[in-house]
Every structure is written in C-alpha cells, then in structure tokens.
C-alpha cells in the first residue's frame, strides 16, 4: 500500500499537471488526513490552494477542486459550519460539469460535515448521493467506501445496528478491493465497536485485533484501536489491560499532537482508574481531558467528564466539587439530550414520510396496473349484448372478491348451439386472474381452433392445453380450474363438470347432475370427463355456479352460507323474473356477508327455458 503523502509529494514535484493528476492530488491529500496526519494540513493546504488557483483558467475542474479542498480541510479541522458553503459550491459546480466522481466526493464532504453537527437527515441524503455517483474503480472510489462508513456511524447513533453492520461490511468490502489500509481500518474498527455495543465481545475482539494486523496502519490509527481495546477490556472487567491500552493510546496521541483524540483516551483512562480505586489519578486525567473538551466545545465529552468527575469527587469526599460537577453534567446533559432527540426524531420522521411517499407511489402504480388488468379481463368476458342475444331469459351474478377475479363466465355460440360455463380458477385477485387468462384461452382454442362442441371433449382438450402451458415453466405448476360447462341446442342440454355440479329446478324440485371429481389441470389421475344429456321442459331453470357464494362467511354466527341454504334460496325465488332472481341473490349475499370480508370470487349463472 503506497503512502498517500509519498504519492502527493511525487505529484506536486511535477511542473505541469493533467486534470486526472489534480483529482488524484486532492484525493491523496484527503487520504493522508484521514489516515491521521492532521498537522499535515498546515504544510499542504496552502500549497494545494495555490495550485488549484493557478489552474483555474487552464483546467476545467480546478475551481471545483478548490472548493472541495476547503470543505475537506474544514471538516478535518472540525470547522464543520465553515465547510458547508464550499461543499455546496463544489456540488453545484460538478453537477453542472457532469463529473460524477468529484460530484460524489462533494456529496461525501457535505454529508460528513452535516453528520458532525447532527443534521442526520441531510447527512444521509448526501451520503447516499455519494454512493450513487462515485465509480467503484475511479480515482475517488475510496470515497464510496467512506460514504458507507459515515452511514454506518449514523446507523449506530440512531441504534439501527443491523443497518450499521451492513454498511460497515460494504465499506470493508470496497476498501479491501482497493487495498486501502485506512478504509479497511475504519470499517473493521467500526465493526469492533458495534460488537462492543451489542455485547458480542468475542467478535469485537476479533475485529479490533484485525485492525492492528493491517499492513500500513499509522500510529494515529493504532492509538485509536488501543483506545477501543481499553473500552473493550473495561467492559469485560480486565481493568489492568484496559488501563494499559488507554495509557498507550494517550501516549501516542500526545506525541502526535492529536489533541482532541487525546481527550477521548483520557476520559476512558479516567473511568478505568476510577473503577480500580485510583481516585486521585482518575481526577487528574479527567481534569486534563476537561480542559481539552472545553477548548474543542465537545458537549458529549464534556458531559462524560463531568459525570465521571462527580463520581470521583464523591468517592474522595469532596462534596462541593462533586455537586458542582453534577450540576454541570446535568446542564449539558439536558442540552445534548434535547438537541439529539430533536434531530433523531426529525430524521426518523423524515424517513417515515419518505417511506410513506414511496409506498403511496408504489400502491398507486399497483392500483393503476390492476385497474388496467380489470379492463383487460372484462374484455375477454362475453359482452352483455352477446349474453342477452344468445341466452335471452338469463342472469349472470358476477362478484369478484378483488378488482380482478379468478372466476369467469364463458359463452361461445357455434351455429345454433350455445356453449356457456361458470368457472373458478385457482386463487383469486391477480394470481387467479392470470390463471383465468390461461384457461379462457384454452377454452377458446378447444372450441374455435379444434372445433369441439361436446362438453367432455372440450374440457379434456382444455386440460391438455392448460397443462402444456404450465409445463413450460421451470417450476411445477398445479393451477387449473373447476368448471360447469354446458351446451344448449334447442331444449337439449349437455353438461360436463370439473368439481362444479349442475342444478335444474323443475316443478319446485332440484335435479342435481354431479361433476367429475377432478380439476381441469394437473391431477394425480387424468380421467376422461363425462357428458350428461338432459331434455329440458318449458319453465325449467338451469343453474351453474362456483363455490364462492356457498362458502361465504356471515349471518348472526359468522358461519358459511352452505349449499343447503343456497338450494332453499333458489327454490324460494322460482316464479320471479331472472332479473329479479339476480337482485335477490345479490342482496341476500350482501346481507349475509355483512361487515365481514368477501372470502372468494362469486359467479352464478341462471338460464330459463
């Protein structure tokens, strides 16, 4: 792994630069700071600022790089408010230029700064933009990794550990592909700390030790892991090891002049010393940390300092100092809690609102598609005009459970023969409707293409076509239909059925012709269907139907309507017109169902001779 400072020095030594080299110079500058070289800013920031200024009129991307340089520098100097304006300018510039990689890096800079002062919703939006725009293999690819890392850190702050783990792993995968030690370090370190939070201590130790084994790790990064190991051993009650690692971290950070980071290690060390009963040493370290935290105005760290100092002073019987520390802790704690809660609630509410809008958009698209499908399904059903002309004294009660239906009615005239049926396909709603399209097509082919008019032969050919259609799938499909299919030629009625029977009411009695106990579709035994022939008398009423009517739950006890009640109902409406029969059947069904959900599609056909 090449040192980013070495790469930067080599490039800066050149007299003239290409656009690609300027891009690499900025990314290596940022990489060097990320690796833990904050003092490096004082030496290199002025050089790069002058370099980009010199090329503003020569290289198209130079003005944007100059703004991005300022945003990155302010971020690492913890001047987060100062970073926003140049980051915005960089985003605007690279959007207009159409340079996706640098646009993505600008979004990372904006998002990272937003995250640092708690604007979670803005941070997430810009970091996801960074992920979208940055190419996996370009000069800026590492910053896609850093976007995932920042998102993971946000996930940890709002206690979404599952999302945090996912984003840390994405960051690690990218950094490993790029062979970038800092990216790998950050991802592994984040996972180690996440596992500490989850109290999964074996996994935490694995990842923290992994960070120390990374080739090219800097002293700054090493000090970070030592600090985290101090926390790990404090949590696992090995206080001697905790003290050892915290002290190593403090030593490295002081030597490297990593002042703000030193305060973190000092607070952890103070906590461990307090647990060891070394009260005076704990107070000394915590007061040292307090001075740094006051300088950097880090409220969370100040709160931790005061809380631990209050405990330490109490154990030392320094009551006045303890009370003062508690008072300061309480003041800051209320400020921090209120601000954090507001920002977290804002973020979560915004996220909920975005998800709501996405769901509403999806539902609208789904509803539009289903409504369009309803139009298609209605188009393949016989028209009212055709039904009235071929079956003049009849009704069809058709009540889909959903917008589209698995039930359908079929009518096809062949010369002076009328073929009609009530069918029930597997399922209801969209799945049922899809099966119905296959079955209607199979019936049409059996009659029109193969010229069949015998009901049993029609069902057998339809079954053959349905099975052939579904056998094209790699998955086993057993869908099909139950059906009552009739042909009417004068007063001669021929019927064949798959599970669905035929009822004829004559002189106040019901004559039932039973169906074959097999579906039109795949079955364990594919037996021939049976054609039944009946000579109808004037006044006979023929009923074909699916099982949706009799299976409907309702009534005072919420039970099924059942076939017996259906028989009684049909007998009670004899002598009425077919239109009135339909109205009575529909009204009875709705009253029985009441407030309960319709359980299945309904199709009932009545034909009077």
Q: pLDDT digit string (tens) for 20-39?
A: 999 988 988 888 887 765 56
Helix, strand or coil for residue 55?
coil
Return the ∠ at Cα 226 (arms to 224 and 229), rounded to 5°: 110
Residue from 166, 248, 249, 179 nearest 214 by CA? 179
Span 239-267, mean pLDDT? 92
Using CA atoms, how far apart are residues 227 and 211, in angstroms rounded to an integer? 12
What's the predicted TM-score (pTM) here? Answer: 0.55
Contact between residue 280 and residue 270 where contact means Cβ atoms under 8 Å apart: no
Q: What percent of the chain has pLDDT over 90?
A: 59
Residue 567 neighbours by CB distance under 10 Å: 16
Kindly indicate the confidence band of residue 140, based on its pLDDT and cuts at 50, 70 and 90. Answer: confident
252-261, 385-394, 426-435, 485-494: least confident range: 426-435
Helix, strand or coil for residue 558?
coil
Q: How many CA atoms lie within 13 A of 280 on its CB side?
A: 0
For the chain, the structural domain boundaries read 1-140, 381-608
Contact between residue 510 and residue 504 where contact means Cβ atoms under 8 Å apart: yes
Residue from 61, 58, 7, 52 nearest 29 by CA? 7
Using CA atoms, how far apart are residues 145 and 172, in angstroms rounded to an integer? 7
CATH code of the domain occupying 1-140: 1.25.40
Span 515-538, mean pLDDT? 92
Residue ranges of alpha helices (H) inside 98-213 are 100-116, 120-133, 142-157, 161-178, 181-197, 201-212
Using CA atoms, how far apart are residues 72 and 92, in angstroms rounded to an integer? 16
H helix or E strand, kind and range, residue 544: strand 541-545
Q: Which two tokens stand for residue 479?
A: 């869908």
Q: Write the CA distances from 584 to 22, 560, 574, 590, 595, integer angstroms.
A: 83, 18, 11, 10, 19
pLDDT for 39 equals: 66
Q: Tens digit of pLDDT for each residue in 158-175?
A: 889 999 999 999 999 999
Kindly indicate the confidence band of residue 524, based on its pLDDT and cuts at 50, 70 and 90. Answer: confident
Length of the chain: 609
Tokens 């459970």 belong to which residue? 401
Q: Which CATH superfamily is domain 381-608 in?
A: PPM-type phosphatase domain (3.60.40.10)
Contact between residue 432 and residue 426 where contact means Cβ atoms under 8 Å apart: yes
Helix, strand or coil for residue 417?
strand
């Amino acid at each position: 792994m090449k040192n980013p400072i070495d790469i930067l020095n080599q490039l800066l030594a050149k007299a003239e630069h290409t656009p690609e080299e300027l891009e690499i110079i900025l990314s290596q500058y940022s990489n060097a700071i990320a690796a833990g070289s904050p003092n490096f800013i004082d030496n290199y920031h002025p050089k790069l600022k002058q370099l980009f200024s010199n090329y503003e009129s020569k290289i198209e991307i130079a003005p944007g790089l100059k703004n991005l340089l300022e945003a990155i520098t302010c971020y690492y100097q913890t001047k987060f408010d100062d970073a926003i304006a140049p980051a915005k300018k960089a985003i605007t510039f690279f959007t207009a230029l159409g340079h996706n990689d640098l646009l993505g890096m600008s979004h990372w800079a904006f998002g990272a700064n937003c995250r640092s002062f708690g604007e979670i919703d803005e941070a997430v939006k810009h970091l996801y933009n960074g992920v979208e725009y940055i190419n996996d293999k370009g000069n800026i690819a590492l910053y896609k990794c850093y976007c995932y890392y920042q998102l993971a850190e946000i996930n940890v702050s709002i206690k979404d550990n599952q999302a945090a783990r996912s984003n840390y792993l994405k960051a690690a995968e990218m950094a490993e592909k790029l062979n970038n030690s800092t990216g790998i370090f950050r991802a592994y370190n984040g996972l180690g700390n996440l596992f500490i939070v989850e109290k999964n201590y074996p996994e935490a130790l694995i990842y923290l030790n992994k960070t120390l084994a990374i080739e090219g790790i800097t002293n700054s990064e090493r000090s970070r892991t030592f600090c985290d190991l101090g926390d790990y051993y404090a949590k696992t009650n090995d206080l001697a090891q905790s003290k050892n690692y915290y002290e190593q971290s403090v030593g490295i950070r002081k030597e490297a002049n990593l002042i703000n980071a030193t305060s973190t290690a000092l607070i952890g060390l103070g906590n461990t010393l307090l647990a060891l009963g070394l009260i005076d040493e704990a107070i000394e370290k915590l007061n040292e940390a307090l001075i740094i935290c006051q300088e950097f105005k880090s409220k969370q760290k100040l709160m931790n300092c005061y809380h631990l100092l209050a405990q330490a002073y109490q154990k030392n019987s320094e009551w006045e100092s303890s009370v003062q520390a508690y008072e300061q802790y309480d003041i800051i704690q209320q400020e921090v809690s209120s601000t954090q809660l507001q920002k977290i609630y804002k973020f979560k509410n915004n996220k909920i609102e975005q998800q709501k809008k996405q769901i509403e958009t999806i539902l609208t698209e789904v509803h539009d598609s289903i409504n369009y499908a309803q139009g298609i399904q209605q188009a393949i059903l016989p028209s009212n005009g055709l039904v009235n002309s071929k079956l003049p004294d009849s009704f069809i009660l058709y009540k889909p459970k959903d917008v589209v239906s698995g039930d359908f009615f079929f009518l096809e005239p062949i010369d002076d023969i009328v073929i009609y049926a009530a069918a029930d396909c597997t399922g209801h709603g969209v799945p049922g409707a899809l099966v119905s399209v296959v079955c209607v097509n199979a019936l049409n082919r059996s009659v029109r293409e193969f010229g069949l008019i015998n009901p049993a032969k029609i069902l057998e050919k339809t079954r053959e076509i349905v099975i052939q259609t579904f056998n094209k799938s790699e998955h086993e499909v057993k869908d099909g239909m139950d059906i009552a299919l009739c042909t009417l030629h004068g007063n001669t009625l021929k019927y064949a059925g798959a599970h669905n029977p035929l009822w004829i009411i004559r002189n106040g009695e019901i004559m039932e012709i039973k169906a074959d106990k097999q579906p039109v579709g795949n079955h364990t035994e594919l037996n021939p269907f049976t054609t039944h022939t009946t000579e109808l008398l004037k006044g006979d009423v023929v009923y074909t139907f699916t099982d949706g009517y009799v299976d409907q739950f309702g009534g005072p006890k919420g039970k099924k309507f059942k076939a017996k009640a259906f028989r009684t109902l049909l007998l009670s409406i004899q002598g009425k017109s077919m239109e009135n029969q339909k109205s009575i059947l529909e009204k009875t069904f709705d009253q029985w169902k009441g407030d309960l959900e319709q359980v299945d599609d309904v199709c009932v056909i009545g034909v009077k001779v």
